[in-house]
Chains A and B, each alone.
Chain A
């Protein structure tokens, strides 16, 4: 019953939550293509739609790449890819669409450009020394740094679902579309990520960062 109880599941046993809207028929997409030919989308229009998501794009890239320079390169490359694919973009989920590209570009970079990046254990001071985040600095907290460290220690598959769920507050369906896995997998990754986070947060600097009295 696990997957069929998930909101958005169409039928018991169907693992994916499926697309929110039915996929366009070949005829429909052909018509849409014709419309686009006569209604060329401009770079200005692209910027109006997508530059508002620059922080979300950077935050995801920064937490996946775990360093500033790579994150900036990934963001720039992602925007260029999005711009080139803009003619095929449908709908209004601009943030999810952009984050999909940022996510895929990040993983491609990690695989091709930085084959060893993920083999390094995350060390505080090594990755963060170049760029203390204004938020972390202003809060001034070990607490914030420790939480950040726990998130960044997660394997990338777990890290991305935590970022998309807790920082971007996206639904399982949206996360499934971005990461290209079924909703059930999103949920199981979130579950395992939270177990790891609980362990990490519980053992930070000898004191727990979790409040144990929390009740549902």
Chain B
């Protein structure tokens, strides 16, 4: 080997990137060539200076939390987007089902689904009675409705019924059946009415009223939304309330 073909390989030699087959020849040249050996020594001193003295920038405190926070947020939003895709296909499927099975009581499906979700709603209502009641306190529907923007993959309809004796008190986010729902809070004397709202494309069901664990509930669908009202209010007043929301 000559200096001409050794010099271009000095960095590779320093970085242990020269194949074993060539290393011996390279090293024997270095033994006898002070020019190449000096050059390699110079490279080595540069490397040692960097490796020994270059400060390693460690991630600032809080960056890990920030990254985790961003990941969780993205995960949540992506799930919402996937759900909406799924829901769009569900709407197509439901429309086809309506066309072909118009005489079949398809309502059963919706009712079963509501049963599955009902326990979540009831416990959300009970939790709210005990502790956290309202996320956004406002009697103004134009304050409550925009509050949900960005927090949910849908925009729930918000109606004020204060003129009818059911003043809007605010809104809240809850989870039912593994997905987020909008909760609208109405008042009636000392009673609270939680109205849970979530999209239900392509399905309709007749209004239903029932009692569960001492709470009265009303469920109905309107404009592709499922509504479920839960309250300790007496059944007849809750029915009146539900009737108002179904027509306003």
Contact = CB atoms under 8 A, between A and B. Distances in A.
Interface stretch (A20-28, A111-119, A140-148): A140-148
B92 interface: no
Interface of A: 1-2, 5-9, 43, 46-47, 51, 54-55, 57-59, 62-63, 68, 71-72, 75-76, 79-80, 83-84, 131, 133-136, 139, 141, 143-144, 147-148, 151, 162, 165-167, 171-172, 183, 187, 190-191, 194, 197-198, 201, 209-216
Interface string B203-224: 0000000000000000000000
A80 B46 contact: no
Contacts, number: 156
Nearest to A17: B17
Interface of B: 5, 8-12, 15-20, 22, 30, 37, 40-51, 53-60, 63-64, 66-68, 70-72, 74-75
* B interface: dominant SS: helix
The 5 closest A-B pairs by CB, nearest first: A58-B59, A135-B55, A62-B57, A147-B53, A214-B45
Question: Among the interface residues B9, B15, B22, B42, which one has the most CB atoms of the partner chain A within 10 A?
Answer: B15
Contact of B44 (A72, A171, A214): A214
B247 to A, nearest CB: 44
Q: Which of B8, B11, B42 has the most CB of A within 10 A?
A: B11
Given A194-B43, A197-B50, A139 B67 contact: no
B6 to A, nearest CB: 10
Contact of B11 (A51, A187, A213, A214): A187
